[in-house]
Amino acid sequence: MKGVVPSFRSLGLERALDDCIFCNIVAGRIPCRKVFEDEDIFAFHDIHPAAPVHFMVIPKLHIASLAQVDLGHQMLLGKMLVLASKLALEQGCGDGWRSVINTGRVGRQEVYHLHMHIIGGKVVLPGMIKR
């Protein structure tokens, strides 16, 4: 699925590259424990893991949050979901995992570059939202 989205440089988003921690990780300016990389997607381990397996899947294209996507991003988002499943299984989450996309202030998004957390391990994860 080569060339799903243009690079942030070809879109004139150099400022996003300079200001965004995830853009800097993709560019190799900030080190990480890489899980996967292709022309569209980058995956790396979370520096503050919430479980034995905790990595993030991000588009290389700078998209601030899920609130900014449109139909033009559907192939990229689909590719992210398929890849997340493949990588979760490779990382040892054969009995399940949690996929989380925090969006905006209310969703407690901390880094404004779309990212999906994949969280799992051998033990059942705690509940997410108290009722």
**Positions marked active-site:** 115
Q: Starting from the edge strand earliest in sequence, which strands make up the sheet with 41-45, in order? A: 34-37, 41-45, 53-59, 116-120, 97-100
**Closest by Cα among 93, 79, 85, 88 to 123:** 93
Q: Which two three-digit tokens encode residue 21?
A: 């921690």
